[in-house]
Amino acid sequence: MQKKIYRLLAAALIVAVFTNCGRREEPATSEADEHAGHAHAEAGHAQTIWEGGLEVFAEWSELNSRQEAEFTIHLTDLADFKPIAQGSLTLEFTQHGNSVLRVQANAPARPGIYDVDVTAPAAGDYDVSILLTRGGETLGGVLRGVHVLGSGDDHDGHEHEGHDHAEHADENKPSAEELITLTKELQWQLDFATATVSNHVLHENIRALGELQAAGVGEAEVFAPFDGVLMPDPMHGIVRPGQRVSKGEVLARIAPSGGSENNWTQMLNDYRLAKGEFERVKRLADDGAVAARRVDEARLDYENKASRLRGALGGADFDLDAVLADGDHFHLRAPSSGVISDTHLRFGQHVSTGEHLFNIIDPSRVWLEAQVPVSEAALLDDVSDAYFTVSGSEQTYRVSENGGRLVSASSLLDPLTRRIPVIFELRNENNVFRPGSFAQVFLQTKTTHESPAIPIDAVLDEEGTAVAYVQIGGETFEKRILQTGGNDEGMIAVLSGVREGERVVTRGAYKVRLASLRINPAEAGHAGHNH
C-alpha cells in the first residue's frame, strides 16, 4: 500500500530531521508533521490513555462505514518510558456493551508502533479497547466516543471526538500556537519520564547548608611527648591521611634530643628500674624479709613511673613491657583504632614537646552539622528528622534510616554567619560519609500539610519563573507557570499552574523546552538542566 510505504520512509528520517510543529493531536497529518519525519494516520484523530503502567497514544484516519481505515498505536512502557518491543495488540470495537469488531496485530511494525488496518463497522459511536498481550499478561485502555461516519453524515457537525474525557486529556486544549510537539520516537531516544500530579502530605522543612564531620566522640589527637627528630617507622612506612590503623600500631618514631627532662631514654630507664625494684621488694616481702611499708613505697614509685611513660604514649593502655623493647627511639603508637584524618608529620625534622602530629577518628559514626538561618530558629523545637544530599551525589540519605539522632540544637547564634548550628549523629557503614564533605540538608519538622505536589525535577527556573511542562497528549506538551510552596523529600507543593491528575515531565523537561524553541533535543547535548 502506497500509504504504508510513505510511513516507513518517513519513520526512517526521524533521527535526521526534526522541527517543532505546534499542532493538536486531533488534526490530520500536517506539513510540519511530515517535516518531523513522523507519519500520522490520514485525516487524523488522536487520543492518549495512561493506564495500567502503559501509555497508549492512538491515531486513526477518518472512519467511514464499511471502508478500510488505519490505526497507528504508539505504546510506551511507563516503567522506563521506552517503546514496547514485543507482544500482540488487539483492537475491539464495542457498542452498548456488545463486541462488534476485533482486529489483531501480532507484533509491532517497529519498536513501540503498531499499524492496524480495519474495515469500519456500521455508522455510530463506539468504544475501542486497545489491549496488549505479552508474557501471559494483558493490559491497555479504552478509546471513548470513536465515531464512524455513514454515507450521509456531515463530519464537520460531529463533536464526539472533540469532547473531554478525564482519562484522555487530549481535548479542551490551548491554541495550537501554545502547544509543543515532541514525537514519541524522540521521547524514546531521550532520558524522558513523566509523573502524575497528586495530593501529598508534606512536612514543613528547614533548608540549610551542612557539613559532615568526624564525630565529637572517639577522636584522638596525638602530640610529641618531648623534643626530638621525627622519623618514619622502617616496618610500617609513612603514615598518610585516610589510612586505617589499629590500636597500638606504630605510626612513627622520635629520636629524643639529649638533655631533656622528659628524655625518652631516661623515662624508659626510670620505668625499667622502678619495675625491677618493685618485683624484687615484693619477692622479699613474700619471704618475710622486708616490711609491708617498703612494698607500698616500691609499688607507688613503679606506678608513678608507669603513669609518666603512659603519658608520653598519649595515655593509651599499651603493654609497657612491649614498649621496653623499642630501644632508645620512641615509637609513636595509635592510641585507638580508626582512620588517620589529619597529619602534621614532617619526617626528618625536629619536633617540639606538645607539637600536634596527627588525629585518629572513629569512622563508624559521623556528625552532620547544619547551619540553620536565624529566621528559622522558631521551628527548631519541632524538628523530628532530617534528610540530606552530599555534594557530588544525587542520592538522598535520611538521618533516622542511618541509625542517627539529634545531638544538639544550639541556642547560640554565630554573630558572623547569623546561623545556628544543629548537629545530628549517624551511623557510617562502609564509610559512605566522608568527613569534610558538604551537604544540602533539610530538617524535617512535625508540622504537615496536604497539597497537590510534583517531583522537584519537574520544575524549571526560566528567568526567575518556576515553570513545568505538562503532557497534554502522547506527543503534545504545554508550558505552565507555577506558584510553588514548600518541598519535602523530592516533592514540591504546587499552589497553582497544574491540576491533580495531569502529567508533568520529570526527566527531559529541558528537552521539551528546546523543542518549544524549535531546537532539536536529540542534537542539543547536555545544554541546560533542571533545578
First CA to last CA across the chain, in angstroms? 48
Please write the tens of the pLDDT for every residue from 40-74: 555 479 999 999 899 999 999 999 999 999 999 99
Q: What span, in angstroms and rounded, lies between the C-alpha atoms of 419 and 500?
A: 38
Determine contact, residues 369/256, Cβ cutoff 8 Å.
Answer: no
- In CATH, the number for domain 198-209+365-523 is 2.40.30.170
Q: Residue 32 has what pLDDT? A: 40
Q: Assign 41 to helix, strand or coil.
A: coil
Instruction: Give CA–CA dist 325/340, Å, rounded.
Output: 25
In sequence order, what E strands does 13-97 have?
Answer: 45-51, 54-60, 68-77, 82-83, 88-95
Task: Please name which of 404, 422, 409 lies closest in space to residue 365, comparing C-alpha atoms.
Answer: 404
- Grid look-up 623534643 returns 227
Q: Which residues lie below 8 Å from residue 338, measured CB to CB, with a gap of 6+?
A: 218, 220, 244, 245, 360, 361, 362, 363
Instruction: Using 70 as the pLDDT threshold, list the residues of the chain that sit under it.
Output: 1-43, 152-177, 216-218, 258-263, 312-318, 322-328, 522-531
In this prediction the pTM is 0.66
Cell numbers at residue 317, please? 593502655
Pairwise CA distance, residues 407 & 412, whole Å: 15
The answer to whether 8 touches 28, Cβ cutoff 8 Å, is no
* HSE toward the beta carbon, residue 87, CA cutoff 13 A: 24
How many CB atoms lie under 10 A from the CB of residue 160?
12
Q: Which of 195, 323, 340 is nearest to 269 (CA)?
A: 323
Cα separation of 86 and 10, whole Å?
A: 22
Query: Would you state the pLDDT for residue 530?
Result: 47
For residue 454, give the nearest of 201, 206, 198, 202 by alpha carbon.
Answer: 198
SS3 content of the chain, % helix, strand, coil (to 5): 20, 40, 40
DSSP code, position 473: S
Read out DSSP for 216-283?
SSS-EEEE-SSSEEEE-BTTTB---TT-EE-TT-EEEEEEEPTT-TT-HHHHHHHHHHHHHHHHHHHH
CB 117 within 8 A of CB 69: yes
CA distances for 91 relative to 7, 140, 161, angstroms: 21, 10, 18
Q: Which residue has the cell 608513678?
A: 304
Rounded Cα gap, residues 355 and 373, in angstroms:
37
3-state secondary structure of 214: strand
Domain 221-361: assigned CATH number: 2.40.50.100
Q: What are the backbone angles phi and psi of residue 515, rounded to the nearest 5°?
A: -60, -35
Q: Return the CATH fold of 2-174.
A: Immunoglobulin-like (2.60.40)
Return d(Cα 506, Cα 470) in angstroms, integer: 10
- CB-side exposure of 167: number of CA atoms within 13 Å? 14
pLDDT of residue 506: 97
Q: Are 368 and 386 in contact (CB under 8 A)?
A: yes
Quick: pLDDT tens for 406-432: 988 877 788 888 899 999 999 998 888
Helix, strand or coil for residue 424? strand
Q: Which three cell numbers stand for residue 423?
A: 548537629
Tell me how far CA of residue 437 lies from CA of 213, 368, 421, in angstroms.
8, 10, 16
What are the residue boundaries of the structural domains of the chain, listed by start? 2-174, 198-209+365-523, 221-361
Are 312 and 206 contacting, i.e. CB atoms less than 8 angstroms apart? no
Q: What are the residues whose beta carbons fall under 8 Å from the beta carbon of 152, sequence distance 6 or more? A: none
Element (DSSP H or E) covering residue 511: helix 509-516
Closest CA to 470 of 498, 430, 510, 432: 498
Strand partners for 115: 72
Rounded Cα gap, residues 242 and 245, in angstroms: 9
